Structure formats: structure tokens, C-alpha cells
Structure 1
């Protein structure tokens, strides 16, 4: 008998750029699968170790805590992983496959950023043993989506072969269209649910998650969900 494929609820949702424990807890209560903490001094959402530790402490274990880094070295990343209780690292620069491998060996889940209109491009994916690939357009002044909407459907074929995390310009109003266009395994939202940079608007978060739930789909998957609960190694 042919085994029935495992089926997962897609897409997962990561709310990125948290700076306050109460807002992180609210995102979790509303149903977010992961929250992101930015460790990049040029970002208005940059957090200290102390801030990040407090945010992670406010989360239930089912919610992944993802550190966002740009061209940081292994020692810096691991100091934040261990010091703040992170379960995953999201790499938004020109990090090497060797760095991804070192983090994976340490049990850190890795999401590698790739860019439709930048480097590394989508064709670099096969060189990285990452748990997921965040794809955006890379047209703004900072690493990340820069609140810019783009042709999300351009990532759909990529997502058929790789665990796709869709990002860039997502809002409660357009997220359903973006999911329909790209069929991602997960979405990553920051400025689209903010009151000001680093401050999340609970009403926007709620409306975004409601929209995702309405358009979410069941899919047979050859890979597991991108965002894993904290408290265990990310070896698979």
C-alpha cells in the first residue's frame, strides 16, 4: 500500500521585527507561527540581547524565535542564539553555504534570503542546506522587503521545489492575493502590520492572520514546515 503523504497547513506566518515582549505575546496569541528579532544595527528594528531575551521569554514554546542577521559571523550569530533562546537564524546577506552548514550542525534552523532582483539569486538555492528560503525583490535601501510589493507569482515555480518563505510588501489587504500567486510554505511580514517601525499594530496582525486563514490550504509536502517549535534541535 502506498503511504498517504503527510499534509501540512500552509502557509505558516512569521511576524518580523518585534521589539516588545507584550506585542510578541499578542502576535503569538493571535496565531503567529514565528516571530523575528533583528540583529542589524542599521535597522530601525534592531534589538539588544536584553530586549531579544525578554521577547523570547514572552513566547509560548510552539512559536519559533528567529534571529535576523546580515553578513554576521558564526560567533556573533551563536552568541545571540544561545544568549536569547533563538531556535532559528535568518541570513539576509551574502553568507556562505559553509556558514549555513556550521549553524545546522549546532542544531540551529536556517532560513537563507534570496532575491529576485539581487544577489544571491534564486539559482543559488541548491548550494545551501537551509531549512527554508526567504524570497523578496531586493529593491530597497536596506536588506529586507522595504515595504515594497512585487510580482509574488515570480517565486511560485521556485516554491514547488524549495520551502518558500514569501516576503516583501505584504499587508492584510494583499496577503490573500500574494498567497494565491506564489503558494508559499510560509510568509514573512514586518512593516505591513506596524504602527511605527518596530511597533506592531495588533489589529493589523489580527486582520492579516484572518486573511491567511481564509486562503490557507492543505498541501502534500516533501519538506516539513519551515518554522519549528522551540526547545528542540532543527536537524531535519
Structure 2
């Protein structure tokens, strides 16, 4: 396992382009096409109720195919430490994303395993956007709407300005309803360290439209932060 290599989030004062995470991949070739388009992180969803859910075997195939320097992120919702670590080991994940009501203690335990930890916070439900101080071990704090049927991937835009205060205190990964048309404005306003997109660049659930991926990445990285 290679630890997440990007030094940009360690140097907040440095001007750089936002990191782009393309989430909800289900096919190896589709994931590699996203990488070739410029994706920095590939997200794999382990939440069984999601239409983008992947099996351990699918995730392992995708993670093993990624070039060095492009980490695989496993997205989990209210899973146990043991379950997460079994999946991390089986698939070769570098990043774990906690997208439910996980405790700060779980985030601490995962961080102690030399994993990059992303914790989701929500505008519409707990943990709220103002709760980031409870999760001091989180490398990224994902700002999400949290009002849809699923924990994420609902394609619902929201008032991204609600994440402004959060972005001044922590490394924010902005998510929720982003697409090629609105991501540049969102990046310019919020100045997040990363953006996360799934349904906004899809042609079918779990299958990304590479023309949309290209347009999204170009737009996101057109703004220096």
C-alpha cells in the first residue's frame, strides 16, 4: 500500500489546483479513463444500498489497476473498524471515507493505521458542518448536503456557501450536486482542497461519461486556490 502522496493538502498557503475525486466507479477501464482524464483520487463505494456498490473483488481489480500516485478511496457508511480494515487489506485502499454517523474514535483508530481519513459532514443532518473539531484526525472533511435518499450520490445541489466557515478551518472536500457547469464557481467561492463528484459525470449508475469527466476536471482545475 502506498500512502496518499499529494503534499498539496499539507501546504494550505501554496497556490495549486484543486484535487478531483471521481467516486462510484464500478469498472476497471472506466476508472482508468477517469485517471487519464486527470482524476487524482478514485472512489469505490462499499455501501450495499448504493447503485454504485462494488464487491471486494471488483474494488480490488480497480485498485490494483490504478497507476502509482492515484489512490483508491473506499467509501463506508456506519461500518465497524474490523470490517473497514478487512476491506482495506483485501483491496489495497489508501483512503477511507466515513460517510455516515461514525464516531471520532473510529476516525482516530483508522488514522493510526497509516490511512488517510476523510469524514463526511452534512448541511441537513448530523454530523453537521460545524462538527469538524470533534474529528481532529480527519485529513479531509467532506462537506455534503445530506438530504437525499442515499448518504451521497443524490445529484442534489445545495448552498455551497454554507461550507465557507468550514473551509477556513479544515481541509475541505466539497461534494453534493457538483457537475461540469457549476464546479468552477463552487471552487472559486469555497476554495476547497478537493472536490468529489459521482452522479454529476455519469451516463449510467456507476458508469462515468468520460466527456463529462474531462469537462468537470478542466473546469475544477481552471481555478487556482
Pairing 1:126–2:133 present: yes
Pairing 1:87–2:94 present: yes
Contact 1:195 1:201 in 2 (8 A): yes
TM-score where L is the length of structure 1: 0.88
Q: Distance in 2 between matches of 1:62 and 1:138?
A: 30
Q: Distance in 2 between matches of 1:73 and 1:58?
A: 27
| Runs of 4+ displaced beyond 3 Å | none
- Alignment-derived partner of residue 7 in structure 2: none
- Alignment-derived partner of residue 66 in structure 2: 59
Contact 1:40 1:46 in 2 (8 A): yes
TM-score where L is the length of structure 2: 0.92
Pairing 1:191–2:173 present: no
Higher relative contact order (CA 8 A, sep 6+): 1
Q: CA deviation at 1:135?
A: 0.6
Correspondences of 1:207-222 after superposition (within 5 Å): 207-215=215-223, 217-218=224-225
Q: CA deviation at 1:182?
A: 1.2
Q: CA deviation at 1:181?
A: 2.0
Contact 2:130 2:166 in 1 (8 A): no
- SS of match in other structure, 1:52: helix
Q: CA offsets, 1:56-88, max 9 Å, x none?
A: 112111112100000000011001111001001
Unaligned segments of structure 2, at least 5 residues? 1-10
- Alignment-derived partner of residue 175 in structure 1: 183
Alignment length (residue pairs): 214
- SS of match in other structure, 2:25: coil
Unaligned segments of structure 1, at least 5 residues? 219-236
